[in-house]
Structure 1
Amino acid sequence: MKAAGVIVEYNPFHNGHLYHLQQTRKETKADCIVAVMSGNFLQRGEPALVSKWTRTRMALLAGVDLVIELPYAFATQKAEIFANGAISILEALGVDEVCFGSESGDINSFLQTLQVMQTRVDEFDTYVQGFVKDGNSFPKSASKAFHALEIKEEVVDLSLPNNILGYHYVKSIHDQQAKIIPKTITRTGSNYHDEHFQSPSIASATSIRKALFSPSGTLDEIKDYIPESTYHHLVSDQLAFQHFRDWESYFQLLKYKVLSSSSAELECIYEIEEGLEHRIISQIKSAESFHAFMEGLKTKRYTWTRLQRACTHLLTNTSKKVMKDVLQEKKAHYIRLLGMSEKGRTYLQENKKKATLPIISKLSGSTNAQLELDIKASQIYNIVADEPIRSNLLHSEYATPPIQYDSVKREFSH
């Protein structure tokens, strides 16, 4: 069987994601679509709207055949580390191609960009350091440095978010000497950071979440932008938990963590650098909401996303030492199965013995430093649920086997 990989968050799964899946299958002629999906905390440093299990069901209903969890150690990181983890999992599973959405839509321009950047990496780094010293955030500095190189060759614009991720997927394939062939399709209908609906059927996940969390937001407002199966799962989740997850759900826990810790203890947390711990303590004391806290915390040097990631690691008490240890190899240590269709199951059976990482279907008896971070993150994610749901969810992380999906009957089973 030929397999194509996609690297996703599905927060939530929407029509743009469905288009990406359909185009991936068309472009790659794949028999099996493998999705490496972030767990309960995401790359922009925020909790997922709904759990990884609900998003797995959304993915399977939409045509994904195998859903693998991207470990917390990679899922909550900048593009380079995020890409390293995802590509290492796809390579370990023997996936033939990876297809990502980008503003460019031309894979040759990504390959050309990689070639150019490899020859001018020292010059690029010097520019970045200079722009950072001027008080710019790292992403802003990297964007300015890229333009300062004045590259004459045909390259992708690395100031655009999906191009940045795509570039790092291509770079990770090169650095890991992976056999995966990269492909890209043009992102359509909306931009990654769009906060408002720009078309009648395609919207960014950002704009969908913003609509949901607005004071008058309802699921009916986003119905045109998501598949019917996503809509029904969001309805069910809302009925079960009364609300969707965002940072406001966890703000009191974050405030307790900060105010019950010394500045020296906070300094040990991953991504807390350059005295940021003092600013965090100062701002959180009077903040009445996470949004107000972030408004006070944000500076020219630190982007909202960078600060949210730091807050995520504060919430999960993830230290610099632990993260350094688990990222030493720059690759995932295991393949955690979340769900599969019959095609996904067949692909696994054919490739299980060839897989270069252990495949985990149940946590019972599995021990690994990266996995321990995943477990802790899931427990904290679920702690805001009401009893008895909370206790069930905390237990389910160990007890839940991969979700089985029958695409003929369109039924789930465990």
Structure 2
Amino acid sequence: MKATGIVVEYNPLHNGHVYHAQQAKAATNADLIIAVMSGNFLQRGEPAFVDKWARTRMALASGVDIVFELPYRFATAHAPVFAHGAIRLLDAAGCTAYCFGSEDGNVEPFQNTLNLLDKTSDEYNQEVKNAMQDGLSYPMALNRAYDAVSSGSEKSGRHVDLSKPNNILGFHYMQAANAISSSMIPTTIKRLGAGYHEETLDVNRVASATGIRKSFFSTEKLDEIINFIPETTKVILTEWQRERINFGNWESFYPFLRFCILRDGPVRLATIADLSEGIENLIYRAAQTNDTFQSFMESTKSKRYTWTRIQRMLTHILTGFTTEMRSGMDEPAYLRLLGMTDKGRSYLSSIKKDLPLPLISKVASFSDPSLDMDIRASDSYALAIGKGSKNAKIGLDYTLSPIMNNYFSGNSLK
């Protein structure tokens, strides 16, 4: 069977995601779709709207045949590391192609950009560094660096706009695939409707996950978002709200985060991954004086430290992820199976003996520092989502088996 890979967060899964899975399968003439999905904390340093088990169920109900977890170390990293981990896993899973959504919708400009940057990599990397030191965001730094290295070079065709978030991820997916000499064929589908960060909903368009979450949190009523999500997603979110009550966001997680910051103090905070240059002191002072996450962020965000960069730091503080822990996690060490359809199970059975990484369906049967961190992050999320009460479902990594086809029975979130 021929598999195509996609990289997802599904936060939550909406109509645009269903379109992406369908088009990825059609464009590559694939028999099945394999998704590498972030766990309970995401690439922009945010807690997931619902946990990885609920989002796996959404995926299996919406065109995905196998879901593997992207380990915490990669899922919460900036774009190059995020892409590296995801592409490594898709390649290890035997995908013949991978497909990403982009604002461009054409692979050729991505390849043109990669070809040029391959010839000017040292200059390009220095330009990115200079731009970020000047206070530009990462997307704008990429674009400025590309303009700098391309101005004196002959361009071979159109290049991709690296100020767009999905284009940036697509660029890094292709860069990561080239770096490991992957045989996977890259394909891209033009993103429909609202932009990646667009916060408003329009009944005539496919909404962004950001807009869907913002609309929900303004009322905490699922009726506000039902036009933008599949019926299966609605059922799963309704079940979650009934059983868990709370949905993941930083405002509700802030009391737990604040406790961790004040307990640890600047000395211990300085050991946390991504904290540097004395920002631990700023974070500690902000936690002392701010009662809400919004005010905390407003007092720490600056031209030097973007909102997303700070959120990644805070995620690591909450989960206790240190620089020392991260040092041994440069490469994915396993394929953690979260769920599969019957077709996905047949595919895995046919290639299992040839997989270059261990296939993990039961965490108790495998030991690895990165897997330990995944479990730790899951429990940190569960504690915060349950507000420390009986709704805090600790230990699900040990008690839940990979989800099979039974989207709405036998996989209760109880």
Q: Does residue 64 of structure 2 align to residue 64 of structure 1?
A: yes
Aligned residue for 1:12? Answer: 12
Aligned residue for 2:124? Answer: 124
Aligned residue for 1:389? Answer: 391
Aligned-pair distance for 1:379?
0.7
Does structure 2 retain, via aligned residues, the 8 Å contact 1:201–1:224? Answer: no
CA distance in 2, matches of 1:316, 1:232: 30
Aligned residue for 1:320? Answer: 323
Does structure 1 retain, via aligned residues, the 8 Å contact 2:74–2:81? Answer: yes
Aligned-pair distance for 1:254?
1.1
Aligned residue for 1:226? Answer: 229
Aligned residue for 1:380? Answer: 380
**SS of corresponding position for 1:389:** coil
**SS of corresponding position for 1:100:** strand
Does structure 2 retain, via aligned residues, the 8 Å contact 1:135–1:300? Answer: yes
Aligned-pair distance for 1:144?
2.1
Aligned residue for 1:54? Answer: 54
Aligned residue for 1:305? Answer: 308
Deviation by residue 1:211-241 (Cα, 9 ceiling, x = unmatched): 0111x34211111000011011111101111
Does structure 2 retain, via aligned residues, the 8 Å contact 1:41–1:72? Answer: yes
CA distance in 1, matches of 2:183, 2:410: 34
**SS of corresponding position for 1:299:** coil
Aligned-pair distance for 1:412?
4.8
2:160 aligned to which of 131, 156, 181: 156
Deviation by residue 1:290-344 (Cα, 9 ceiling, x = unmatched): 11111111001111111100100011111111112112xxx21000000110000
Instruction: List gaps (5 residues or longer) in structure 1.
Output: none
Does structure 1 retain, via aligned residues, the 8 Å contact 2:139–2:164? Answer: no
Does structure 1 retain, via aligned residues, the 8 Å contact 2:265–2:284? Answer: no
CA RMSD in angstroms, aligned pairs only: 1.5
**SS of corresponding position for 1:118:** helix
Change in 2 beyond 3 A, CA 1:60/1:412: farther
Aligned-pair distance for 1:411?
5.8
Aligned residue for 2:365? Answer: 365
Aligned residue for 1:276? Answer: 279
**SS of corresponding position for 1:230:** helix
Does structure 2 retain, via aligned residues, the 8 Å contact 1:200–1:224? Answer: no
CA distance in 2, matches of 1:132, 1:178: 30
- TM-score normalised by L of structure 1: 0.95
Equivalent residue runs for 1:62-211 within 5 Å: 62-151=62-151, 152-153=155-156, 154-211=158-215
**SS of corresponding position for 1:345:** helix
2:295 aligned to which of 286, 292, 296: 292
Does structure 1 retain, via aligned residues, the 8 Å contact 2:139–2:165? Answer: no
Does structure 2 retain, via aligned residues, the 8 Å contact 1:404–1:412? Answer: no
CA distance in 1, matches of 2:265, 2:207: 43
Residue type of the alignment partner of 2:215: A
CA distance in 1, matches of 2:132, 2:45: 21
Aligned-pair distance for 1:199?
4.7
Aligned-pair distance for 1:40?
0.4
CA distance in 2, matches of 1:61, 1:148: 45
CA distance in 2, matches of 1:121, 1:346: 42
- TM-score normalised by L of structure 2: 0.95
Aligned-pair distance for 1:277?
0.6
Change in 2 beyond 3 A, CA 1:411/1:260: closer
Does structure 1 retain, via aligned residues, the 8 Å contact 2:116–2:150? Answer: no
Change in 2 beyond 3 A, CA 1:396/1:255: same
**SS of corresponding position for 1:95:** coil
**SS of corresponding position for 2:253:** helix
CA distance in 1, matches of 2:95, 2:129: 37
Greater shift after overlay, 126-135 or 374-383?
126-135
CA distance in 2, matches of 1:177, 1:212: 42
Deviation by residue 1:31-89 (Cα, 9 ceiling, x = unmatched): 11101000000001011000100000000011110011000010001111011111111
Aligned residue for 1:266? Answer: 269
CA distance in 2, matches of 1:132, 1:67: 35
Aligned residue for 1:334? Answer: 334
Does structure 2 retain, via aligned residues, the 8 Å contact 1:36–1:68? Answer: yes
Residue type of the alignment partner of 1:134: D
Equivalent residue runs for 1:229-244 within 5 Å: 229-244=232-247
Does structure 1 retain, via aligned residues, the 8 Å contact 2:139–2:168? Answer: no
Instruction: List gaps (5 residues or longer) in structure 2.
Output: none
Does structure 1 retain, via aligned residues, the 8 Å contact 2:194–2:205? Answer: no
CA distance in 2, matches of 1:82, 1:412: 33
Deviation by residue 1:148-183 (Cα, 9 ceiling, x = unmatched): 334533110111100000011101111011111110
Aligned-pair distance for 1:11?
0.3
Number of residue pairs matched? Answer: 405
**SS of corresponding position for 1:4:** strand
Change in 2 beyond 3 A, CA 1:98/1:324: same
CA distance in 1, matches of 2:257, 2:389: 21
CA distance in 2, matches of 1:77, 1:363: 23
